[in-house]
Structures are given as structure tokens and as C-alpha cells.
Amino acid sequence: MLKILKFLITRTRFLLAGIGLIILLGVLFGTILGKNNLQIFSNIAVQLGLVNGSGNEINKDIDNSKTRALIDTRPVVIIDPGHGGSDGGTVAGGALEKELNLEVANLVGGKLTKAQVNVRFTRDSDIKVNLSERSKLANEHPGALFISIHHNASTFPEAHGVEIYYAQSKPDSVILSQRQYFKLGRDDSFSDHRGKLLAGHVQRLLCSMTGANDRGIRDSRLAMTRWVSCPSILIECGFLSNAKECSNLSSSGYREKMSAGIAAGVLKYLKMVDTDPYYGTSIKASKSAKIAKLQSENSGS
Ligand SMILES: [Zn+2]
């Protein structure tokens, strides 16, 4: 009887130790698994932007840049500083065109940004960008304005003043994307004078604010005006080959006035478009019906 009792006590001790071990392992395993699951959930939540990096707080700072992108209704202006990198452009009077183009572009961009315009650049450093890349970027924004900035040179040293180019005729593919932008029917006739009007506003304000010689606006077949579907102009800010004008163009005070004139011209054009979304176009279909349609679409979005 005593032997049987001893046997039972010994076995029960092993049995209890075994049960204890199983419980301990279960708790440890459960904790690790739970932690992993929490970590996985936390990572997914961070990816989805539901919580912040600490994993346990609702992120009150919603990603502002993403939110802005969703609700950004500011007009877009693409500024294109001509040349860059191995392509220096015109070199005259100790001035390098690609550098002056970038400086003027940055000044214009700063002024437009202050005026609540969404500014994009085709280049913002000294790099070479192909013409096709520049127009490709522009054509991603059919509702934008495109402003290419250059400096001129001539074999006649007396030549001086400002010229702005636009293109009255554009390739069929560009016209097609313009028609799509305005949601035109197949039979609606369409003509586009927006580039000419934009050139006119910028030329007038640029010349009046700098006192520069007004050489007029010109219809041309330049790539940067022809290949771009939105209203696009190319500004020749002045002649580096003219000693007096080169000295002006190289001075920060003159550049300040010049960029103010360009920005004012762009803002004047944008104000006109604000009043009439079809400003500068001629469409055979009822214009008032189209405006009402566009306005109702805009107010509904
Ligand atoms: Zn140039």
C-alpha cells in the first residue's frame, strides 16, 4: 500500500510538472505570436496612413502634401529655362545664356508661387533636358501655361529689345489633345489664339516694366511653341550681343523688373481665363452652352 502511494505521488509530481511546462510554453508562444501579429498590423496601418510611426496613435497630421495634391485647384504654369548642361545657348559679352535663363526662371517662379500659382520647372539646375522631354512634361498638364525663357543674340550689335514667340499652327496630335481638353464634339470647329494672347499680355507688361525696346510678338514654328498643347510662348528677354542690353540683362535689378513684368503678364492672362474658360479660343458650337457645361462640371467636382 505504501509502495502504491509513493508511486502515485512520484507520478503526480511528473504530471504536474508536465502540465506546468505546457502552460508556460503556451503563454510564451501566445505572447510572441500576439506581438508579431500586432507588429504586422502596425506596419500595415502605417503603410495605409491610419496610424503614425509609433503604431498606436491615430495620426492627426494627415499627410499634407497628399491632401494638397487631391484638392489643388491652383492654375499650373510650367516654366522652361532654355538650354542647360552641355548646351550653353548663346554666349556673348561674358554672359552665358543658360545661366541667365535659369536665374530669370527662378525669379518668375518665385513671384508666381507667391500669387498662388502651382509652378513647375522643366529644369531647376544646370542639366541638359531634350526638347521632347520638355514638351512631354508640358503635355501632361493640358490646362497649364508654358513659358520658355531665352536670351537672344544677333550679328548686328545694335539689335536690342524683347521678342516673344507663339505658334499659330500646331501638329495634328497637339490639336487633337486640345480638342479633348475642351471636350469638343467631332463636328465642332475649333481655332486657338491663346498663345498669341498670352504673348501679347506678357510682351506689353514686360516692356512697360523694364522700358525695353518692344520688337513685337511673332508667329513661329519653334518646337517649344508648336509641340505644346497648352498656351505656350517663348520669350527672348533681350540681346546679349548688344553691349548695353547685355549689361542690363546681367544686373540683378534689371532681372527683378523683367521677372516682375513676365509674372504680371501671366497673371493678367490667368485672370482673363478665370472670367472666361474659353478665352482665346473660337468654337463653332454654342459657346455659352459650353461655358455653362464646364462651370456646372467644375462646381460639381
Ligand atoms: Zn536660347
Contact 78, 122 (CB under 8 A): yes
Provide the pLDDT for residue 52: 36
The Å distance, Cα 173 to ligand 1 centre, comes to 26
pTM as predicted? 0.72
SS3 121: strand
The Å distance, Cα 149 to ligand 1 centre, comes to 8
The Å distance, Cα 46 to ligand 1 centre, comes to 48
Contact 262, 80 (CB under 8 A): no
Q: Which residues contact 54 (CB under 8 A, 6 or more apart)?
A: none
The Å distance, Cα 231 to ligand 1 centre, comes to 19
Cell numbers given for 7: 508511486
Other beta carbons within 10 angstroms of residue 103's beta carbon come to 17
Contact 87, 98 (CB under 8 A): yes
Phi, psi angles (nearest 5°) of residue 20: -60, -45
Name the one residue in this structure whose C-alpha cell is 520638355: 134
> CA-to-CA distance for 178 and 169, rounded, in angstroms?
12
Read off the amino acid at residue 153: A
The Å distance, Cα 242 to ligand 1 centre, comes to 15
The Å distance, Cα 115 to ligand 1 centre, comes to 27
The Å distance, Cα 89 to ligand 1 centre, comes to 5
Contact 184, 237 (CB under 8 A): no
The Å distance, Cα 97 to ligand 1 centre, comes to 7
The Å distance, Cα 74 to ligand 1 centre, comes to 29
Nearest one of 136, 227, 215 to 175, comparing CA atoms: 227
The Å distance, Cα 101 to ligand 1 centre, comes to 8
The Å distance, Cα 278 to ligand 1 centre, comes to 31
Q: pLDDT below 70 — which residues of the chain?
A: 1-70, 285-292, 300-301
